[in-house]
A and B are shown apart, each in its own frame.
Chain A
Amino acid sequence: MNEYVTRFSVQQRLEHLCVMLLFLVLAVSGFAQKFFEAQWAQWLIVAMGGIHRVRWVHRGAGILFAAVVVGHLAWALYLVASRRSKPSIVPTRKDFSDAVMMIRYYLRLSDEEARFDRYDYRQKFEYWGMVLGSMLMIVTGFMLYLPVLTTRFLPGEFIPAARIAHSNEGLLAFLVVITWHIYNAHLSPDVFPFDVGIFTGKMSRERMEKEHPLEYERMHPDAEQESHDHPEA
């Protein structure tokens, strides 16, 4: 009897925890600078010990964040290249047809839901949005941190452009997290109040069968049969 499926390795769970905490630090220290005219931002800056400390906290957290992202991508590339892992997060043609199918389902044009593999199209969208957004934040962040070095290689106008991009991309990332991610991990009726999977690494068999049926069937080739025969097995 196996009620839970282990879905995330310890390393993956730690990566999520690091990114979550660093994102929080970066958002607080970044928005305090972006919205410095607001009362709450000035309060935050004073509480954190002045603008110069806020900036060093932001840079320090940014460097750690960059290390986590680069380490994650390098490790994932190594696993895929050495065939130790399948590139299950890479978008495929099926993701597009799944998306169309789900939208038809939501609009009640059809009653059939898409059947997903290890990651559904929304999770892939969020992952790649996060990877590309992070790359942009890291590159523009270092440009702003080291403007003298940057302008050895690039025209000066890239610095103010990087500032606009960093500021807006950070806002976009924050808005995506508080709408899309908070909905999917907390507020969605499917997981309310808290999908703990990324912290425990586990997902219940029922949810696996419902949300990732293709992956579950691959893990347990006889599972569908079993569950039909013995619903409580």
Chain B
Amino acid sequence: MTLAAALISLTGAQAAGPASDPPTNTFCMTCHDDPKFVHKLGNGEKISLFVDQQVFAHSVHGGKLVCIDCHADITDVPHVTKKYQNRHAMRVAYYEMCKRCHFPEYSRLLDGVHYAKLAKGDEKAPTCVDCHGSHAMAKPARPRALISRTCAQCHTAIAAAYARSVHGKALLEEDNHDVPVCTDCHHPHDNSNPLAASWHLAIPQLCARCHTNKPMMAKYKISTEVLTTYLADFHGVTASIERSEKADPRAFTATCTDCHGIHDIARITDDRSSPVIKANLLASCRHCHKAAGPNFPSAWIGHYEASPRHAPLVWAVSVFYKIFIPFVIGGLVLQILLHLWRVVVNR
């Protein structure tokens, strides 16, 4: 009953003021300051219409925007009642308001998997406010760990695996800013489908953004040759060719994550669970090469260049041909030249 009374008094106040003045936040707060102010959705769910002014003032928009900048559809008091079936329907109706200022992010969003789900009517698909919040909107990466917490609202299992990984532990336990958070690999707005072949084949270059960064890798004593040594091997060659073909590959070739793991990626030096340490490597190879025997894993000479100490056979064969090919071809060309010379002399 208090609500009805308030509405009646507001209608009077509004009618009394000049028609051109937009309503101020203070004016909106006449109703929305009430913690008990709720609205019943079509599905019977009640949502709070209370806005905590303190929270909004401390948000990134506090002091910059007024209520109707975002709630631009509000023109009359009391508002024309819109019957949203559920929260999702209401968010879908509202999320386009953000593009009036954040147009680049909005247009990138249209290329992302979340929007693709949204466009298909998936009620679990997030809109702007699901990740960024509404009235309590904060900078998305302060602290940096907030990003993985944000994604964890839906991607629970992946967030848990990430938290156990070498990257996640460093971020969550040491606040290490070198390690990637979700959005470093998966773009925040135009996040493409990570199950697509094009994504799978681009993983080496994705990991290489950090793993070929010499100053960064030097801190952790990790080789920066990981990309080139991978690309020189059969799997790497296949991945590179398939990427250049631009057609979906018909077979599967292993990239970084197929051996090292994805979100649960572990450090190889001190983690016995890592799929790439010698004791576990055969099991990893067998994901694809089902009949592989105990000698098979050493067909991959690791992320090393062949040398007399490491993979001496590969090194020796390589050196042999560096000498043998010029020797043979040089000898044959010499014989041809001698023959031609004598033919000329004879004439």
Select the residue from B233, B240, B242, B295 with max chain A CB neighbours within 10 A: B295
User: Using a Cβ–Cβ cut-off of 8 Å, how many residues does chain B contribute to the interface with A?
Assistant: 47
Roughly how many angstroms separate A180 CA and B314 CA in the complex, as a whole number?
29
Distance of A68 Cα from B205 Cα, bound (Å)? 43
Report yes or no: A108 in contact with B293, Cβ–Cβ below 8 A: no
Residues of A near B241 (CB, < 8 A) are 33, 36, 42, 45, 51
Given contacts A164-B314, A168-B317, 5 further A-B contacts (CB under 8 A): A36-B237, A151-B295, A156-B296, A168-B324, A176-B328
Q: Check A52 for interface membership: any CB of B closer than 8 A.
A: yes
Contact in complex: B293, A148 (CB < 8 Å): yes
Cβ-based interface call for A233 (8 A): no
Q: In the bound complex, what is the Cα–Cα distance between A33 and B318 (angstroms)? A: 18
Let me know if B336 and A179 touch, CB within 8 A: yes
Interface residue ranges, B against A (CB under 8 Å): 233-234, 237-238, 240-242, 244-245, 247, 249-251, 289, 291-293, 295-301, 306, 311, 313-314, 316-318, 321, 324-325, 328-329, 332-333, 335-336, 338-343, 345
Residue of A nearest to B319 (CB): A164
- Asked if residues B295 and A154 are in contact (CB atoms below 8 Å), the reply is yes
Known contacts A51-B241, A180-B332; A156 and B297 CB within 8 A of each other: yes
Assembled-state Cα–Cα distance A152/B295 (Å):
7
Chain B residues near A176 (CB-CB < 8 A): 328-329, 332
Confirm or deny: A160 has a beta carbon within 8 angstroms of a beta carbon on chain B: yes
Question: Chain A's nearest CB lies how many Å from the CB of B313?
Answer: 5
Asked whether, in the complex, the Cβ of A151 is within 8 Å of the Cβ of B292, the reply is yes
- Nearest CB of A to B280, in Å: 16
Q: Name the one of B240, B250, B343 contacting A36, with C-beta atoms under 8 angstroms.
A: B240
The yes or no answer to A157 lying at the interface (CB within 8 A) is yes
**CB within 8 Å for A106 and B342 given contacts A42-B244, A148-B292, A156-B299:** yes
Most chain B beta-carbon neighbours within 10 Å: one of A42, A50, A108, A160: A160
What separation, in Å, do the CA atoms of A159 and B285 have in the docked complex?
Answer: 15
A-B contacts, 13 of them at CB < 8 A, read A36-B244, A45-B244, A106-B335, A148-B291, A151-B298, A151-B299, A154-B295, A161-B314, A164-B321, A165-B321, A179-B333, A179-B336, A183-B336
Question: Closest residue to A34 on the B side, CB-wise?
Answer: B237
Q: Please determine whether A163 and B234 come into contact, CB atoms closer than 8 angstroms.
A: yes
Q: Which residue of A lies closest to B310 (CB)?
A: A157
Q: Which of A46, A157, A172 has the most CB of B within 10 A?
A: A157
Given the complex of chains A and B, what is the CA–CA distance between A32 and B199 in angstroms? 24
- Could you tell me the distance between the alpha carbons of A221 and B296 in the complex, rounded to whole angstroms? 62
List the B side residues contacting A180 at CB < 8 Å: 332, 336
Hey, which chain A residues are within 8 Å of B339, CB to CB? 106, 188
Interface centre among B234, B289, B299, B341 (most CB of A within 10 A): B299
Contacting pair A106 B295 (CB below 8 A): no
A127 to chain B, nearest CB (A): 14
| List of A residues within 8 angstroms of B291 by Cβ | 148
CB atoms of A172 and B325 under 8 A apart: yes
Q: In the complex, which residues of chain A have a beta carbon less than 8 angstroms from the beta carbon of B238?
A: 51
A90 in contact (CB, < 8 A): no
- The answer, yes or no, to whether A37 is at the interface (CB within 8 Å) is yes
Closest to B316 in A: A161
A80 at the binding interface (Cβ < 8 Å)? no
A180–B336 Cα distance when bound, in Å, is: 8
Distance in Å from the Cβ of B255 to the closest Cβ of chain A?
Answer: 15
Residues from chain B with Cβ under 8 Å of A33 in the complex: 237, 241
Contacts known (A33-B237, A155-B298, A180-B332); A189 close to B340, Cβ less than 8 A = yes
Q: A106-B339, A158-B313 are in contact. Are A168 and B295 (CB under 8 A)?
A: no
List B contacts of A165 (CB < 8 A): 317, 321
Q: Check: A171 CB closer than 8 A to any chain B CB.
A: yes
Pick the contact of B314 from A108, A148, A154, A157 — CB < 8 Å? A157
- A99 to B343: give the CA distance in the assembly, Å: 17
- Residues of chain B within 8 A of A103, CB atoms compared: 338
Smallest Cβ distance from A129 to chain B, in angstroms? 8
Per-position 1/0 for A77-103, Cβ under 8 A of B? 000000000000000000000000001
Task: Assess whether B332 is in contact with A160, with CB atoms less than 8 Å apart.
Answer: no
**Given A46-B245, A160-B233, A147–B299 Cβ distance below 8 Å?**
yes
A175 within 8 A of B: yes
B300 cross-chain contacts in A, Cβ below 8 A: 156, 160
* Contact status of A157 and B251, CB under 8 A, knowing A51-B241, A171-B325, A175-B329: no
Min Cβ gap A137→B in Å is: 13
Question: Can you list, as one digit per residue, whether each of A160-197 has a CB less than 8 Å from chain B (1) or not (0)?
Answer: 11011100110110011001100100001100000000
Is A1 in contact with chain B by the CB < 8 A criterion?
no
Give Cα A16–Cα B250 distance, bound, in whole angstroms: 36
CB A17 to nearest CB in B, in angstroms, measures 24
Asked if B293 contacts A172 (CB within 8 A), the reply is no
A219 within 8 A of B: no
Given contacts A45-B245, A157-B311, A179-B336, contact A172 B328 (CB under 8 A): yes
**Separation of A180 and B289 alpha carbons in the complex (Å):** 42
> Using a CB-CB cutoff of 8 Å, which residues 1-55 of chain A contact chain B?
33, 36-37, 42, 45-46, 50-52
